[in-house]
Amino acid sequence: MSARTKARKRALDMLYQADVRDVPVFDILHAESKRAANEPDRAASWAYAREIVDGVTDHREEIDELISSYAQAWTLDRMPNIDRALLRLASWEILHNPEVPVAVAIDEAVELAKEYSTDDSARFVNGVLGRIADHAKA
């Protein structure tokens, strides 16, 4: 598993935790940074995980607006928490990280949805991210 894939899983975990526990993402980042400092084998994935979480936090309003616009008949509140976190993560990569090809961002999110969410989530995540990618091209 690549360092970026591990970083995405860590970022997903942090975004999900903040959402489910209804705590500021900064608190989760702070706790994770302490943990990462004590576990040198996690250093490779820590930097990118933090970049993702910071990016999602910095662009959350824009990202949530796009997700809401393209998630046909689904409000953010109605989505499973893990799907919401995945969509935020991948949307940030699509919109704000030119180092990651759009297809990779979408594929990684779909794979994470298959692993951690409902049977229908992969298709849902793929559809919403495809529309966001089309929006980003325009």
| pLDDT tens readout for residues 2-41 | 889 999 999 999 999 999 999 999 999 988 888 877 877 7
- Report, as an integer, the average pLDDT of 87-92: 98
Higher pLDDT, 46 or 130: 130
**Total domain count for the chain?**
1
Contact criterion met (CB below 8 Å) for 85 and 12:
yes
Q: What is the mean pLDDT of the chain?
A: 93
Confidence of residue 57 (pLDDT cuts 50, 70, 90): very high
- Domain range for 62: 3-137
Q: Is the pLDDT of residue 59 over 90?
A: yes
- Report, as an integer, the average pLDDT of 120-134: 97
Using CA atoms, how far apart are residues 62 and 58, in angstroms rounded to an integer? 9
- Report, as an integer, the average pLDDT of 33-51: 82
Confidence of residue 48 (pLDDT cuts 50, 70, 90): very high
Q: How high is the pLDDT of residue 36? A: 77
Q: Cα separations (Å) of 137 from 70, 75, 131, 132? A: 15, 24, 10, 9
Confidence of residue 44 (pLDDT cuts 50, 70, 90): confident
> Can you state the angle between helices 81-96 and 3-21, rounded to 10 degrees?
130
| pLDDT tens readout for residues 98-108 | 999 999 999 99
Q: How high is the pLDDT of residue 38? A: 80
The CATH number that applies at residue 110 is 1.10.940.10
Contact criterion met (CB below 8 Å) for 14 and 53:
yes
